[in-house]
């Protein structure tokens, strides 16, 4: 089946004309897609012959909301989305002073197996298409009644393990054929898939890049992030420098502070040495509770000490504000293993 919602106008035109339909029909079909039409029969000014063809050959990707959880602590909302084939992903809508930000998923589950992440513990099913990523944004917009101005690909999955679809998503969602969300308002997160980091740098796109580091050396990082055995820290740092050189954009390093694991003064100094001279920012994240992981977040005192050491060494760092913790919507808490039975 053909995923027509992942096409831009020129691709949709080529698809329809190759199948014997007039060129102008593509604009009609795209217009209905942008109006969130639920099925092909809803495309009222499209001839029946074309609708019948589309029903046989194509599908309209969706991200139907089947559960909404609203935090009592802040304005965070967590969505459970059902995809066209019955798979499920989660997304999180947050409110900041600069507008609404949504954290979307790029895969159903994740292969990376990070020990502090619920998604990695729940297995992997498949990657999402560009249209399914866009559908999460649009469904959340319709639910909240506001335009979403910022997008982060930090939900379920490793975006660079779904590289081609993610790049298609970036180009489509920022275009007039879709939601017109500028790339400067989109951030991609990766655990450090080095070849894709370099490919991404070569594209010189204007979106942000966030790298999950979480440890200052290979021994510590390999304990919590199996991907480090394939792409060790030196390779990740080399790829990060390459990205900065190619794009002249600041890179963000994510660092989950885990009590007794990676939050010592020595770890802070080692991290500062690793990042010295880089155009970067360190986003410190007190690790969130994940069933079975056994990790505890660092104390407020330890968090501040870690920040202070980085600052003294000239490394820009902040502690991320935790949002949606009462609905398991914080970093590392999105999962898939319960969904089919509970939805």
Alpha-carbon distance of 28 to 81, in angstroms, equals: 27
Catalytic pick from 103, 110, 117, 331? 331
Report the alpha-carbon distance of residue 163 to residue 271 in Å, rounded: 28
Strands (E), the chain: 2-3, 58-59, 64-70, 77-82, 88-96, 99-103, 107-109, 124-127, 148-153, 186-190, 208-212, 251-257, 280-286, 317-319
- Under 8 Å between Cβ of 62 and 6: no
Torsion of CA 81, 83, 88, 94, to 10 degrees: -30
Q: Would residue 331 show up in a list of annotated catalytic residues for this protein? A: yes
- The values of phi and psi at residue 13, to 5°, are -60, -45
Catalytic member of 87, 90, 132, 261? 90
Residue with tokens 């992903």: 89
Asked if 285 and 331 count as a contact pair (C-beta separation under 8 A), the reply is: yes
CA distances 87 to 103, 161, 192, 320, Å, are 18, 18, 26, 31
Tell which phi-psi region holds residue 153, choosing left (phi > 0), alpha (psi between -120 and 50) or beta.
beta
Among 106, 97, 213, 108, CA closest to 160:
106
Q: Strand 88-96 relative to strand 99-103: parallel, antiparallel, unpaired?
A: antiparallel
Task: Please say if 132 is a catalytic residue.
Answer: no
The residue behind tokens 């590392």 is 332
Catalytic residues, by residue number, are 90, 331
């Amino acid at each position: 089946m053909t995923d027509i919602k992942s096409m831009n106008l020129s691709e949709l035109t080529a698809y329809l004309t190759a199948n014997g339909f007039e060129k102008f029909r593509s604009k009609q079909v795209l217009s209905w897609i942008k109006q969130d039409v639920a099925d092909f029969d809803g495309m009222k000014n499209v001839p029946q012959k074309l609708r019948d063809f589309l029903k046989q050959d194509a599908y309209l990707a969706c991200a139907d909301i089947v559960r909404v959880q609203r935090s009592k602590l802040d304005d965070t909302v967590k969505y459970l989305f059902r995809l066209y084939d019955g798979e499920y992903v989660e997304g999180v809508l947050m409110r900041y002073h600069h507008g609404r930000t949504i954290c979307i998923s790029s895969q159903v589950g994740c292969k990376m197996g990070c020990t502090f992440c619920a998604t990695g513990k729940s297995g992997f099913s498949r990657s999402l298409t560009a249209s399914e990523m866009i559908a999460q944004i649009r469904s959340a917009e319709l639910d909240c009644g506001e335009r979403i101005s910022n997008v982060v690909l930090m939900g379920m999955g490793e975006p660079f393990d779904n590289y081609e679809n993610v790049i298609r998503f970036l180009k489509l969602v920022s275009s007039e054929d879709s939601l017109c969300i500028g790339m400067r308002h989109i951030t991609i997160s990766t655990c450090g898939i080095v070849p894709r980091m370099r490919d991404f740098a070569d594209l010189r796109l204007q979106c942000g890049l966030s790298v999950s580091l979480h440890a200052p050396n290979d021994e510590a990082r390999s304990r919590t992030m199996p991907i480090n055995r394939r792409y060790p820290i030196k390779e990740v740092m080399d790829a990060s420098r390459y990205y900065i050189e190619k794009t002249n954009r600041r890179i963000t390093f994510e660092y989950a502070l885990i009590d007794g694991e990676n939050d010592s003064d020595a770890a802070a100094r080692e991290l500062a040495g690793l990042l010295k001279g880089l155009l970067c920012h360190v986003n410190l994240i007190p690790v969130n509770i994940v069933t079975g992981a056994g990790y505890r977040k660092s104390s407020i005192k330890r968090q501040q000490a870690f920040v202070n050491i980085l600052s003294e060494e000239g490394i820009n760092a902040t502690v991320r504000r935790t949002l949606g913790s009462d609905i398991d919507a914080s970093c590392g808490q999105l999962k898939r293993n319960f969904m089919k039975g509970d939805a």
